[in-house]
Structure 1
């Protein structure tokens, strides 16, 4: 394939110095960067090309090089140990990348540029050099495949074609590597986009949950008041931290030392329900200051919900009660209902069990559904040691281990079986414990409000209030 140059061969014509065009060189360097191959670890595919070139041309040294801005970097080097890169000027490869065809220098000492190269002038003493440029599909020359010998020689046109084929094989390997890099980068970018999207979703969820929790708390009293002779306790749980619930309750003073209380449930959830919740709570409070009669208050709320455009077509259920303190302890309670589940009047009996009576005035209709809705009320005495338990239907619609809803019968049975002090706090805590035992969790919002009359002989000036607002998931149902 190769033959040694004769000492009597005529000296070759001086090769003109090729100076790269600055704009073309900038584009070439950009192509080098595109392949991201500089300073990468050794690669078997490129090493095999260098070894093949050395065997085909029967030379001691063959290399695959990439030409950087100011250096020649060796991607593969057969027979050239310990050399990773050399300066670009004066260069062999640096000149080869400026040509469209292979560069062949039979005798480097007779070439004015090659003679100054460190591989020629130095200890290695290279006398023969041939290189084919590695040319990209868009015409940029990244580097060269080179064969070197310490003896002058010449090669045939077929040899130079073989060298060009080896350079093309190197480019094919670089293209495969670039495709793999692009696929990897695309996958990394996709994963990064997904990660960022997940993080944004989590941030959005947290923001929505925080907003919903904050909004929910504005719709509920921050704390229950202290009412002389009465213990109060409440609990609120939203089925989803992302939704603003429609349940509401409050206890507040009215005229003549009397106190009003209410508990209700707006149809639906979310911003629209929150609007109605805020409207209902505000209306009930204002109406009670004008006339605290429970039926009158519910009629006022019915009118407002039907005429206020912010309420839309939403309605609610509600219980509204009026507490009038009695001499010697206890309260006269008047409760009006607007389509709401019954409250429960509870007291211990002589046998140690709990006496339970549903407070269910007949005829109470949904509030905000019908212009001529009628509302009913009942009056009874809440004596010392007795309690009143109010709730929304999220409690009675919770399903037991048998899959059936707890219902009013189940709640009545639960209250009958209670043991221990019959106080407002105990009633609420027991109901929370009951809900925590529901196997599939609570599917709806739950509001609880309990009142109990203190015994004046043991606590003549007692007034206790407990407030709990919970927005955790059902499996974490509990008082905060």
Structure 2
């Protein structure tokens, strides 16, 4: 009995802290937001499901920040919502046939006019571990989903969390600005801190360890008080395959940041669903042009790699969405050569954009360098651009450097170029 009471107190304390986290984000009953509506539509389209929601679980109700396919339904009683179960665990919650599942057979969503038969939800988890809601997809027919589907749903929940953090950071900056208007130095510090925190949320906190490969990256903001649109990522697809990308969203500020976050998670989800990286760019293009309120586009290099079974190195498939070529540094020949498919349009600019890919082997000792145009368009003398040719000349004596050494060297070069745009760098070296 004592154990049961202690457990109950613990559960009450956890719920109290969770509700404080919900309140901290000040999201309940807020107006409709295109960013969240777009994520709900992406979830529905990804699962080919008629309904999808972004739900925040309050004390006695489940409130929908976004609801696709539910008409004018904005909230439900907490006792009758699927999200109440989803927030009990960090893993996705799935009901394959709700009418036959004793957990849900009496649920009004199931027995009522909506006739829900399938449900999958992934919890929205704050950085301090509170599950404040869920991203859900619902269907009127029984069905199953695989691990890739659930990974996509989890990524979309993480994207929602990014949007909530962006929104909270903006609110905090505005509130602070209203209070500290008399001190310009403090205002500048507040804006810089806000921009830095916002930018960090758009980049991976660390790069993974890839067997047989050395990986390094660097991000240089043009201004401490401005959020940029450059992005990169490296992540595992399965036990043998990995994906990577680097790109640049048009514009700056919170609008570009929102698109950057959407691009990152869309590409992550697409990499799990499509073996061909050009199909991943097709999916990203559909997402960006599918919303009439979305007017931004991006350039991207998007690739996959797998270790060669014989001879060492990694086989790379690299697709382009209008981005600058990567540079291949080869110590065997002492050369630096551009690598990019011949064709590839901007992503998100037009509905019928086409993309292309190339494939090659990154051999032991070779390094592939991806970069954004902030470095090539820098004007170190105040006149002409640094340019791709100058970058190749700079890299040629450094073809023997491994990824981390090369990135450290370039990080030292970048400030001397006096760039007026952000710069992202990503290097991959095949181990000997």
State the superposition RMSD in angstroms.
1.7
Q: Which residue of 1 aligns with 2:233?
A: 250
Is 1:347 the counterpart of 2:337 in the alignment?
A: no
Question: Structure 2 stretches of 5 or more lacking a match?
Answer: 1-178
Is 1:424 the counterpart of 2:403 in the alignment?
A: yes
Matches within 5 A, 1:383-394: 383-394=363-374
Matches within 5 A, 1:30-429: 199-308=182-291, 312-327=294-309, 328-349=311-332, 354-401=334-381, 403-418=383-398, 421-429=400-408
Distance, in Å, in 2 between the alignment partners of 1:204 and 1:401 is 32
Distance, in Å, in 2 between the alignment partners of 1:349 and 1:216 is 38
Residue 257 of structure 2 aligns to a residue in which SS?
A: helix
Distance, in Å, in 2 between the alignment partners of 1:224 and 1:431 is 18
Deviation (angstroms), 1:199: 5.0
Deviation (angstroms), 1:204: 2.1
Moved over 3 A (4+): 196-199
Residue 215 of structure 1 aligns to a residue in which SS?
A: helix
Give aligned pairs, total.
253
Q: Which residue of 1 aligns with 2:416?
A: 437
Distance, in Å, in 1 between the alignment partners of 2:191 and 2:380 is 31
Q: Which residue of 1 aligns with 2:429?
A: 452
> Which one scores higher on RCO, CA 8 angstroms, separation ≥ 6?
1
Distance, in Å, in 1 between the alignment partners of 2:276 and 2:337 is 23
TM-score of the aligned structures, taking structure 2 as reference length: 0.56
Distance, in Å, in 2 between the alignment partners of 1:305 and 1:197 is 38
Distance, in Å, in 2 between the alignment partners of 1:275 and 1:398 is 25
Tell me if the contact between 2:367 and 2:402 (Cα under 8 Å) persists in the aligned partners.
yes
Question: Structure 1 stretches of 5 or more lacking a match?
Answer: 1-195, 456-480
Over residues 24-71 of structure 1, what are the superposed CA-to-partner deviations in whole Å (9 max), with x where a residue is unaligned?
Answer: xxxxxxxxxxxxxxxxxxxxxxxxxxxxxxxxxxxxxxxxxxxxxxxx
